[in-house]
Chains A and B, each alone.
Chain A
């Protein structure tokens, strides 16, 4: 593990040095000034409702600096079946506050660096995330490489720390006048108490210890190393039709593997004033290697790790959505006023999790933005 971490550090440091030392000339990324506000409602048939609101602003400052800030709040109300069985609370309410403060700077054409701070606060979970990034354009802007790295300092129930570090290598290649291909590889490591403090596991014992059932806290390893490889393509099918597709493979050292595929098609009509979009997504994961639907244990051979957390077991999900964006020119301000609406359906299946075999959700959102 230490060797792997050292190799990762060496790889990301090397690539960062290469990016920063020899970035060629090219055009900077387009800067934009915009303000946006949106609200969404998530509802599922497991009794969970989340009302989310977001305000965000992005300002392009002369001199190659872009600043952005966002504030998100989620109001979560739950009465889910598995929350009753595992957390022993019939209903619960929580408010999550989150935000983002970011800056991007273009010191010279073809090179962009940035940093962001992402805090998040819930009654029982605090998180402070930091990220830094560098992107460079090569070969007459046909090739873009990027390095993004981050650190997250979290506290569960305000006292139990979790730390996460991650780094992502990004690549974008312009294949022709209509097509861009992307490839990203991300490695991350988390350590701390990674098990949920609200989950308990029943161990069914045999072997003559007196009691045949023992309930213990969910116990997972204290660290996790994860990898994700994402390949994607964006293509203009026609001047008014655009498509995007991506595939992600994920693996971690807990034994979980997953595959994610997503496609999106957009159509622009009415002189670029209306955009209609459709998205579909499919996801499937194996369980971690120590996940069981039921733990039958022969005393005294207790397993080192045990969890029945549905998120760590076998699961698959599908989602599909429709999106519309209507753009009104505001000539006096030299800006566009943009109204967006989106509806997204999401279904999850937990084939081996008896308290909740499946859940179905729908998310509806409305937004408005002013773009200069």
Chain B
């Protein structure tokens, strides 16, 4: 399990490195080039109540959790 922990952190760290490399290697985006990135359909925080409800439904019915935000507490109906 220590290997899993180390692997997970390593993958994340490699992602940071790759993201940083991409950020350094690419030309900077001007503000007027960020319009689509700022669109509400690209916003991971849009409609938080719906996202929380969906996550709660799924975490009450499946044994896996984590990595995707907060689902709220409680065991829910299984």
* Contact-size category for A: 35 or more
Taken together as a complex, chains A and B put the C-alpha atoms of A335 and B4 apart, in Å, by: 48
What is the minimal beta-carbon distance from B39 to any residue of chain A, in angstroms?
Answer: 7
Q: Are A342 and B50 in contact (CB under 8 A)?
A: yes
For A128, give its contact among B39, B64, B66, B73 (CB under 8 Å).
Answer: B73
A106 within 8 A of B: no
- Asked if B76 and A74 make an inter-chain contact with CB atoms under 8 angstroms apart, the answer reads yes
Write the nearest CB–CB distance from A81 to chain B, whole angstroms.
Answer: 13
CB distance from B63 to the nearest CB of A (A): 5
Residues of B within 8 A of A141 (CB): 29
* Stretch with Cβ within 8 A of B (4 or more), from A200-208, A211-219, A234-242, A295-303: A234-242
Chain B residues within an 8 Å CB radius of A96: 74, 76
Q: At the interface, yes or no: A61 with Cβ under 8 Å from chain B? A: no
- What is the minimal beta-carbon distance from A128 to any residue of chain B, in angstroms? 7
Q: Tell me how far the C-beta of A134 lies from the nearest C-beta in chain B, rounded to whole angstroms.
A: 15
Interface membership of chain B positions 15-30, coded 1 if the CB is closer than 8 angstroms to chain A and 0 otherwise: 1101110111010110
A103 within 8 A of B: no
Least distance between A368 CB and chain B CB atoms (Å): 12
Interface positions, chain A 5-59, Cβ under 8 Å from B, are: 7-8, 11, 30, 36, 38, 40, 42, 48, 50, 52, 54, 56, 58
> CA separation between A7 and B3, bound complex, in Å?
11
Chain B residues closer than 8 Å to A318, beta-carbon distance = none
Give residues 27-78 of B contacting A (CB, 8 Å).
Answer: 28-29, 33-34, 36-39, 41-42, 44, 47-50, 52-54, 56-58, 61-68, 70, 72-78
- A sample of 14 more A-B contacts (CB under 8 A), given A7-B6, A100-B70, A177-B29, is A42-B57, A50-B77, A76-B77, A118-B73, A120-B72, A128-B73, A143-B19, A173-B19, A178-B36, A182-B44, A187-B8, A188-B66, A228-B64, A342-B50
27 contacts between A and B (CB under 8 A): A40-B53, A50-B77, A54-B49, A70-B49, A96-B76, A100-B52, A120-B72, A127-B74, A129-B70, A139-B23, A168-B67, A171-B19, A172-B19, A184-B68, A225-B1, A228-B67, A228-B68, A229-B67, A242-B42, A266-B41, A285-B63, A311-B62, A340-B47, A340-B50, A365-B50, A367-B49, A369-B47
The 5 closest A-B pairs by CB, nearest first: A127-B73, A173-B19, A120-B73, A228-B66, A228-B67
